Structure 1
């Protein structure tokens, strides 16, 4: 049995509203156990005998069939989430900046996004691995930051999602405790 973290893109924003209790109930009809939702913002930890790719496809299938939601998720093992959190050089709690990790199910899209961020200039970012990069935004200005606007483009919607480092730490801890 493997421990996984699943990160949903675009849930409970833009008219896509799914109650976490309903999501948990629906997921238990699939080959998942110990399902826990976190923070009502599209973070789920669970256990499964399936591999990462199969967890992704079955999870997305559940969202489409149960909620009519054209879903995109990024699935990582609990150990990989812990490695990414440990690799992030930015502070988890700082008054002047917020630390983010962008996760991707498509390495080529993350490569493109990272390179576009470099071309913007003024974006402090670092690649954490093939499926993740970390970046900083000024406190109070995340949504207005050039990189945030870039990463929100439709082109990246189906393959990337971003979480602040504090959320990633909570997900790491929840996944480890399954």
Structure 2
């Protein structure tokens, strides 16, 4: 029996976890929200490890995995903002970056053809910083890891700067690649 479908199934389960995570955040149920977020993170590590270890990588997985990550992060930021625990300007910046990247990839597909996502090191750092901020806020809200008040603006600034710079990096890098690809077509 082949199990090469398992990483994608785990990714889909992670995407479905966004619904109860959002529900918990919106209702102020921060302890179950923390455990759901932690479980989602563990499932992300598991599906990636399985795909690499057994060669179960697929184009579907390459597209679904970052979508699952974005979905969970978006739910985390939006839910925490609705609960008054995340500044609106930061949520808007995170959503704007993701919207720009999504619009760019859809435009690429329309004008050039299939899109091969290649996350940059800066993009991976940004995702990590965003995840750590959401987890830190959840830890704070549960009273498990109280940080000094002056550290929150610093954390928000690091995430904002990484989000902004990585968004610009994607626009410039893929803009240059798109221009090259379009020149090849003419």
Fold agreement, TM-score > 0.5: no
TM-score class, shorter: under 0.3
Q: Which has the higher strand share?
A: 1
TM-score of the pair, normalised by structure 1: 0.26
- Greater C-alpha radius of gyration: 2
Q: Which has the higher helix share?
A: 2
